Amino acid sequence: MSTIRVSEEVKERLRALKRDEESFDELLDRLSRREKDIEEMAGSLAFLDEDGTLEAEMRAAHDELNESLSRRR
């Protein structure tokens, strides 16, 4: 087991994302896995995108979604 230090602001944002019966460990695992899954999915579609536009569009959509979620908090 390890300790990770975060500011009170970050802790409150994490608390808002945490599901009712979920531990902080489970929350961080879920969030980190989801990000990796999205990156792997984008990489698996690279063969469809010879000129790089699909990947760029997916990354832009991903960034836009993250910004939208940040504004809602």
Render pLDDT for 14-71 as a digit per residue (tens, 0 to 9). 999 999 999 999 998 888 876 556 666 666 665 566 676 777 787 888 888 888 888 8
C-alpha span between 19 and 40 (Å, rounded):
25
Assigned domain for 1 exists: no
Assigned domain for 2 exists: no
C-alpha span between 49 and 64 (Å, rounded):
21
Q: How many domains does the chain have?
A: 1
Assigned domain for 62 exists: yes
Structural domain boundaries, residue 58:
8-72
